[in-house]
Every structure is written in structure tokens, then in C-alpha cells.
Amino acid sequence: MGGDIVIENHRNSQGDPTADIIASYSNLKSIEISGSMIPRLIDEIPIIALAASQAQGTTVIRDAAELKVKESNRIDMVVHTLKTFGANIEATEDGMIIEGPAPLTGSTVTCEMDHRIAMMAAIAGLIAKGRTTITDGQWVDVSFPGFFHLLEKLT
């Protein structure tokens, strides 16, 4: 997508690879994600879709039908949630197509017990003009306790 991202200070934390990510503003470009890339990015698809909504061009995500059988039908949840913000996004049989960039407007969203959708909506709320409310944001604690506190510190 052409993001200006630097990864430094690689280390292990409780057996997991960890690093510091330094990101700077950059104009994003559309991409295509499919095939063998999907299993490695399956948990990141919601935030990638959000980034794609701000990227220039048409992003296509395909071969991701397994997203339909996660905590929720994550394809439908990503599409529905981003549409409530005003993103130009459509579901396909095995993924989604996102046309960007699109201005986002604050919204009230429900994450249906999926922490990834809640985190995506929180970041979308930072991009959007107007107020965003996540009615069940507590699900973020499943994978990232302290997410909202850290997000507050960053903004």
C-alpha cells in the first residue's frame, strides 16, 4: 500500500516476536490480496480494509471465504461496519472490493463480539469526521487489554 513504516527493535516477548513500529503519514495505494497471503493476514483483514478505504484506487481481497466462519461473518461485518462510516466497499463471495479514498463520517457501531471489528471501528472513528460510538467495545479486551487507553495516549 506504500505506507511509510519502519520496524525496529525486534525482540521476543513471552515467546512472541515483538517490535516497535514507526509509521508516518503517506499516501496509500490500492492492492490486491489473495491466495497464499490470506492465511498470513486473516486477522489483519479488517484493518487492511479500513486502510484500503483511504487508499487511492480499487483494493481487491479474494480467497478469504474462511472469514465467513470466524467469531462472526467477518466479511459481512467489515463491509457493514465500514459502510456505516461511508466507505465505498462491497462484499464478494470470497472477499471484498474497496474503492478509495472515501471520506468517513462518525457512526454508531456494534462489533458483534468480534474484537477485530471493534478495533477497526475505533481507528475508523479517528479518521472520521464527527462522533463515533462503539456500543460493545469491551470485546477489544479479548486480544488487547488497554487498547482504548493506549489509543487515547496516541491521540
Active site residues: 43
Nearest in space to 141 (alpha carbons), one of 113, 110, 106, 108 = 113
C-beta separation of 8 from 37 below 8 A: no
C-beta separation of 56 from 30 below 8 A: yes
Other Cβ atoms closer than 10 A to 18:
11
Nearest in space to 94 (alpha carbons), one of 75, 81, 117 = 75
Locate 138 and state its grid cell. 469491551
C-beta separation of 66 from 111 below 8 A: no
